[in-house]
Amino acid sequence: MLKLIDIQKRYLKFGIGDLPGRVLNRPVTKSRETGYRATPENAQTYLYRQMWVDPQLRAAVLDIRHMDRIDPRVKKIHTRMARSAVKGGLVLDTASTNKRLLRLWSEYAARIGLDNHNKLESDARGLVMEGNLALQWVIESSRVTAAIRLPSETLVPNVGPDGRFVDLQRAWSQHDLMQGSVIADFPAWKLSVVRLTPDNYDDQGSLGRPYLDATRGPWRKLVMSEEDLVIRRRVRAPLRMSHVLEGADDEELEIYRQKVEARSDEIATDYYSNRKGGVTPIQGDANLDQIADIGLLLDAFFSGAPAPKGLFGYADELNRDILEDLKRDYFEEIDAMQDVQAAAYAEGFRLDLLLRGINPDRYDYQIKFRERRTETPNQAADRSLKYSAIGASQETVLRTAGLDPAKEKAQLEAERQQRDPYPEPDKLKGSRVRITPGNARKGESATSIANR
């Protein structure tokens, strides 16, 4: 396995100097020029991290996992976010025609499972539920062969008060929470950690937060109120009877109560008295339909969700136009999540190129998810046709439609070589594409494709 100094030497070969921050953060010299990046309330946390993991992050992650297991609403939020984010898979966005770069990307994606939808969705769920995506790069034969996701609540960033790694050879430590010992230490290049909404991005010890972190309080109140509501309905809804046995002593009253309840399959809801009276019915609670407090807590919980509650099954009294506006906010959240997750895979690909002696800065490329804004295939095709109409490049048109330009060019070249050089006139066929603005639902363009 290559050491850090080996990768450093390969970069020095190109005359660039130290590794760039995207793969390895430069060591920080101890001087007064290095400011204090930790917030005052986190000063004690940094001291505590010398011995243990961040207790606040661990508590938040455990709460979110518990919520995901027992509450279908939380599970639906995490599942929908993960599936929307990885929809369409990853793609290497580059204008370079270097076949070696494209081949290395295809091999890298196949080796670590980036062409597997289950792998991408699992990483996306981990990012949403933990607020961090920690990928350990497994290196064999001078190439990255696997990206293993580690539980971020077991990791400790070894940073100083300035928020920078103290030792790049020991940037991260993984703790055994049961034994209270350190399992392994990781150099900065071997463990890539991307963070979701950290308190301070420049502080390398400031980890991300689970997406539903701030909804834990409203969720507890909501679950408690729902349980109380069920208990209240169970206890106060049935019709009760008041049995009065005038002149009976306590023993006779108890014998009578046992006889009555032995013949009933319902829970005990009757009252018994040995004073003057008779059997009187007592009506159940007539206000059981008043559950406005449940609706208030439900709104408070979904205010921290990425999408309105209407997308998760609570569609009453929701205006369709308002729902469309809220869906746009949801798409923006998914786009931001895609950028964070793709950044982790980009670090691995950059490391893979370095291990092969290739300078990644020589190429202009970007790793991103193919489908943005969670568009439908028809919407993506419609937008690509509009780009074609205004004179955009064919590569941009294909990429907008969710297609891989390199594969499409190779397929077109293969079809061109197999084409009959002397076709019969009646076999010449083509298609004609027409776009009618404002002729589809919600004012979108209608696309018409006809043979000619």
In a domain, 59, yes or no: yes
Residues 128 and 267 in one domain: no
Q: What is the pLDDT of residues 229-248, one digit of tens each?
A: 877 777 766 666 777 777 77
In a domain, 222, yes or no: no
The band of 17, judged by pLDDT with boundaries at 50, 70 and 90, is: very low
Residue carrying structure tokens 């986190």: 42
Residues 162 and 132 in one domain: yes
Domain count, the chain: 3
CB of 109 within 8 A of CB of 178? no
Residues 343 and 398 in one domain: no
In a domain, 336, yes or no: yes
CB of 23 within 8 A of CB of 354? yes
433 vs 127, higher pLDDT: 127
In a domain, 135, yes or no: yes
Q: Which of 216, 171, 154, 133 is nearest to 27 (CA)?
A: 171
pLDDT at 62: 94
Residues 119 and 264 in one domain: no
**pLDDT at residue 333 is higher than 70:** yes
Under 8 Å CB-to-CB from 70, ≥6 apart: which residues?
A: none
In a domain, 160, yes or no: yes
Residues 266 and 336 in one domain: no
Residues 48 and 134 in one domain: yes
Under 8 Å CB-to-CB from 296, ≥6 apart: which residues?
A: none
Q: Strand 446-451 and strand 280-282: pairing?
A: unpaired
In a domain, 301, yes or no: no
DSSP bridge partners of 173: 156, 185
Q: Which of 73, 68, 105 is nearest to 89 (CA)?
A: 105
Q: How far is CA 16 from the centre of its chain?
A: 36
Residues 76 and 125 in one domain: yes
The band of 344, judged by pLDDT with boundaries at 50, 70 and 90, is: very high
Measure CA of the first residue to CA of the last residue in the chain; give whole Å.
Answer: 61
Task: Find the DSSP H helices in 264-376.
Answer: 292-302, 320-355
What beta strand segments (E) does 50-180 contain? 90-94, 132-139, 144-150, 155-157, 172-176
In a domain, 401, yes or no: yes
Residues 115 and 207 in one domain: yes
- Residues of the domain holding 439: 377-451
Residues 362 and 414 in one domain: no
Q: Which of 165, 164, 169 is nearest to 184 (CA)?
A: 169
**pLDDT at residue 128 is higher than 90:** yes
Residues 421 and 400 in one domain: yes
Q: What is the pLDDT of residues 349-367, one digit of tens each?
A: 999 999 999 999 888 888 9
pLDDT at 88: 81
